[in-house]
Chains A and B, each alone.
Chain A
Amino acid sequence: MAFISSGYDPKEPMKDRITDIGPRNYEEFYPPIIAKNKGKWAYHEILEPGVLVHVSETGDELYTVRVGGCRLMSVTHIREICEIADKYCDGYLRFTTRNNIEFMVDSKEKAEALKKDLESRKFPGGSFKFPIGGTGAGITNIIHTQGWIHCHTPATDASGPVKATLDVLFEHFQNMDLPAQVRVSLACCLNMCGAVHCSDIAILGYHRKPPMVEHEYIDKMCEIPLAIAACPTAAIKPKKVALEDGTEVKSVEVNHSRCMYCGNCYTMCPSMPLADKEGDGIVIMVGGKVSNRISAPKFSKVAVAYLPNNPPRWPEVTSTIKKIVDTYSKDARKYERLGEWAERIGWEKFFEKCGLEFTHHLIDDFRDPAYYTWRQTTQFKFTD
């Protein structure tokens, strides 16, 4: 398309420049009923999966219909969301912190009509555009990252595995049939953008091969001290290398026996790539939570050291997650989060019940704190 100016003058970039105005004030976008009852809510109920009602001290009722969102969405899709909001909600809507979409109306009849419309909308391929659910003790949306769509350091994809996993767990999105809510998150490398370190089930992209060092370019493209300092295990040291043509250049040497393939050096230095088709895969972590309800927040722990990248459906990953969710669902007590359940029955029983193999990869060996993760007691249970 031919260039169409917005009025910006590249010859005078600072002229008429507006800056530091911040985001719009959220109160501008309140539905009237929310603006009116702000700070006066008395109680709320979950009427059915995906539908909430909040009742105010003034007697006003607010019905919320929560629908799944794919997070990565086109303007066409956002326009369709707006069209629904215009039709039923006077043009108001909101997105949740797990990237679901919430439509709000002031009566039950309007909520019913809205639900019927939402359920009828499908993509040409057959998947629901706006599946209703994500409330209560079920499985809501998966917090995820960029993957092969946009990032340069991923060890796996994000949108692909998330679609495959949510297809497998879809019944739990539309039902509230678990002991407590199960939060699933995905990060495509161990930068862990998002919530994988604190989720009930976490899917994490993982490398298994050390970086390649492009000696010819490293001193030109990288600030070498930064690459050295980026390594958590001090596997990288500076080294002078002679190229094929005889010129001596500054470079680095990677001690492969110290490298655990975190990829931090590649983040700092473009000349140390490490992505590998066969080497890369997925780690499954379990048992994290962020709420303070009953027990304190927990980090998730590594439960499966490696599953292969198997696009487009990642069957090994989805079947493992299904197995963990099914076992938890059968065995845990009401209100018990996955991490609380595993700690109550003991991790050895968690591995036995879920049928997961315990390998030496799962034993912490990172610096002094690793010691505290070992068992310094005679209390344990025999397993099969």
Chain B
Amino acid sequence: MATVEFQGKTFTVDEDGFIESYDDWCEEWVQWVKQQEGIDELTDDHRKVIKVLQDYYEKNGIAPMVRILSKLTGFKLKQIYELFPSGPGKGACKMAGLPKPTGCV
């Protein structure tokens, strides 16, 4: 596993840039992923998606299904893609510190 140094913090990441452990998540990680994902400015909407993902993950141990994410945040899938151009999995989950999506992706 590779390591990333950013704003004085060190993160262990895999080859797709997902953080090794959810426990290592912090504000600096959000800023690092923001830069990686080509997001200009973090809005309250971005924060809301991340908060919903993290609350759901802490409570249930899994990332929410896309329709649940839409329902909980009130954002349609199109809006989520506008916020996170890589999409809810590669973009939002990565920024929220969740494990990498698995299965036939």
Query: Chain A interface (Cβ within 8 Å of chain B)?
Result: 10-14, 191, 220-226, 250, 267-270
Is B104 within 8 A of A268, CB to CB?
Answer: no
A220-B62 contact, Cβ under 8 Å, with A11-B38, A267-B104, A268-B103? no
Name the 9 nearest CB pairs between A and B, nearest first: A13-B38, A223-B62, A220-B21, A225-B62, A268-B102, A225-B61, A224-B61, A221-B99, A226-B62
Is B38 within 8 A of A12, CB to CB?
Answer: yes
Roughly how many angstroms separate A220 CA and B85 CA in the complex, as a whole number? 25
Roughly how many angstroms separate A11 CA and B21 CA in the complex, as a whole number? 28
Interface SS majority for chain B: loop
Contacts of A14 in B (CB 8 A): 38, 85
Q: How far is the CB of B57 from chain A (nearest CB, A)?
A: 8
Give the residue of A10, A225, A267 whose beta carbon is less than 8 angstroms from that of B60. Answer: A225
Is A10 within 8 A of B99, CB to CB?
Answer: no
Q: How far is the CB of A378 from chain B (nearest CB, A)?
A: 45
Is B103 within 8 A of A267, CB to CB?
Answer: yes
A269-B102 contact, Cβ under 8 Å, with A220-B20, A223-B61, A225-B61? yes
A222-B38 contact, Cβ under 8 Å, with A13-B85, A14-B85? no
Contacts of B57 in A (CB 8 A): 223
Is B61 within 8 A of A220, CB to CB?
Answer: no
Contacts of B103 in A (CB 8 A): 267-268
Within 8 A of A (CB), among B69-105: 85, 98-100, 102-104
Q: How far is the CB of A226 from chain B (nearest CB, A)?
A: 6
Closest chain A residue, CB of each to CB of B36: A10
Q: How far is the CB of A102 from chain B (nearest CB, A)?
A: 30
Q: How far is the CB of B93 from chain A (nearest CB, A)?
A: 10
Roughly how many angstroms separate A68 CA and B102 CA in the complex, as a whole number? 35
Is B60 within 8 A of A226, CB to CB?
Answer: no
Closest chain A residue, CB of each to CB of B101: A223
B63 within 8 A of A: yes
